[in-house]
Chain A
Amino acid sequence: MDLLAFGDTGWGDELGRAMLMTLAVALTAMALGLVIGALGATAKLAGAWPVRLAARLYTTIFRGIPELLIIYLFFFGSSGGAKWVLELFFDSVGYVEVDAFIIGALAVGLISGSYSTEIFRGAAIAVPRGQVEAGMAAGMSRGLILRRILAPQALRFALPGLGNVWQLTLKDTSLIMVTGLVELMRQSYVAAGSSREPFLFYIAAAAIYLGLTSVSGAGFRRAERWAGRGTQQGAGQ
């Protein structure tokens, strides 16, 4: 048990910092995913056919290919990719190294976004068409219909699905240990190796992950109840 103590003798504070890193990557990736998801759903529902095709290709690839393979692509490809982008603006750039946090958040964010796209798309379809037509009949502009009618209701329909995406995203961050970023999985791997107590540290990490998933799961359930207030589902609970 001393091994889990805080301070110089134990790994407690290291694990705590690693947990914060896991949360930071997961929140950044989720936020990125939500932006991508909103754009992707718009592209799929209202885009011209090349845009629709691009969005469809994106969701097929990022949902159909293993997360780990995608992370390897970003890990090994980030240096060359960043160099290529920078050389569009500057003459010649030497070796570019991209921070592991950015690589991880970007890779997991794009995976998260591919799932969010489908959730938002389904949620937007679930808003009754008559309501949009009523908005048009009342003389609302497209932006106003989106803001006052479509978005608030779609968000409510999307909430349970987004809760699942968050759980996936949180767990997917464990895979970026292969890039060397010291998040919870990497830290417990290092601690397990140097203390020769792998079982203890992996159980400790499992307990922390369970804490994170169950607390955020409870948060999402509360949010669902809040968003469902005034509806029949909300009243029934």
Chain B
Amino acid sequence: MKFTLMWESLPTLLSGAVLTVQLVALALVIGFGLAVVIALARLGSNPLISGAARFYIFVFRGTPLLLQIFLIYYGLAQFEWVRESIFWLVLKEAYWAAIIALALNTAAYTAELMRGGISGVPKGQVEAALACGMGRITRYRRIILPTAFRQILPAYGNEIILMVKASSLASTITLMEITGIAERIIARTFSPLEVFAVAGAIYLAINFAVTLGVEGLERRYNKGLRLASAAR
């Protein structure tokens, strides 16, 4: 083991972690919003809309993410009307192409989680909301979505970790996040094990932080539940 090389590559790899976290955070925010819409569409009564949502989930879960990234970054650029449209401002940037691909991908997985969460909201709670005279939007905003999110939180934590790992694919379209930098250092120094150890440790640290964060959130959201069962 060349420890000096490991020590020297640490700051460079850490600087890539900034990009990794950015990609993941933006993709998660966009993807979660999309997931709620898709989950509601999937549960809705209109067969056309729920069929479209089902197809979306089927396609994005059934194909490799790398293919989705290439399709968005290289595939769409083929069309003149895409290059002339306003979307081109965003799609021509590898940064945004990667975020869009990651967001569309996580939306499909999260929509399935959300669907389970929404169907798992106790019927009595929805009826109570109706009895209070809440409108549809208030019902979703105050009762259904928060309860559903609390239920899917542990599974969503896994999805966040999968996204941290998935962001490494952004290196295939020239983005220099942790994996991209690691590959460059390995190709230059021919020390795969050393660089892998440092880059891998950074990923494990990020994922550990995610795990702790999600556990904290779970504790906070389940506080009411604990108090309720203690009072009983």
Contact = CB atoms under 8 A, between A and B. Distances in A.
Interface of A: 60-61, 64-70, 72-73, 75-77, 80, 167, 171-172, 174-175, 177-178, 185, 188-189, 192, 196-199, 202-203, 205-206, 209-210, 213-214
B75 A203 contact: yes
Given A68-B179, A69-B196, A198-B78, A76 B66 contact: no
Nearest to A77: B192
Contact of B75 (A65, A177, A199): A199
A199 B70 CA distance: 9
Nearest to A199: B75
Contacts of A75: 192
Contacts of A188: 67
Given A61-B200, A66-B203, A73 B193 contact: yes
Contacts of A210: 58-59, 62-63
A61 B196 CA distance: 11
Given A199-B78, A214-B62, A69 B67 contact: no
A202 B179 contact: no
Interface of B: 58-59, 61-67, 70-71, 74-79, 161, 164-169, 171-172, 178-179, 182-183, 186-187, 190, 192-193, 196, 199-200, 203-204, 207
**Chain A binding surface SS class:** helix
B203 A177 contact: no
Given A69-B182, A206-B67, A213-B62, A64 B192 contact: no
Q: Which of B59, B64, B71, B79 has the most CB of A within 10 A?
A: B64
B67 A202 contact: yes
B192 A192 contact: no
6 cross-chain pairs, A with B, having the tightest CB-CB distances, nearest first: A66-B168, A174-B64, A77-B192, A76-B192, A199-B75, A213-B62
Contact of A68 (B78, B168, B192): B168
Given A174-B67, A199-B78, A209 B62 contact: yes
A73 B187 CA distance: 11
Contacts of B161: 64
Given A61-B204, A72-B192, A73-B193, A67 B165 contact: yes
A210 B63 CA distance: 6
8 contacts: A66-B169, A67-B165, A72-B192, A172-B64, A188-B67, A196-B78, A198-B71, A198-B78
Contacts of B168: 66-69
Please report whether the interface of chain B is mostly helix, strand, loop or mixed according to DSSP.
helix
A84 to B, nearest CB: 11
Contact of A69 (B64, B70, B79, B203): B203
Contacts of B203: 64-66, 69
Contacts of A205: 67
B4 to A, nearest CB: 19
A201 B75 CA distance: 9
Contacts of B172: 68, 178
B169 to A, nearest CB: 6
B196 A171 contact: no
A196 B74 CA distance: 10
A199 B183 CA distance: 27
B65 A65 contact: no
B63 A171 contact: yes
Contacts of B75: 192, 198-199, 202-203
Contact of B63 (A77, A192, A209): A209
A194 to B, nearest CB: 13
Contacts of B165: 64-67
B71 A199 contact: yes
Given A72-B179, A76-B192, A77-B192, A65 B186 contact: no
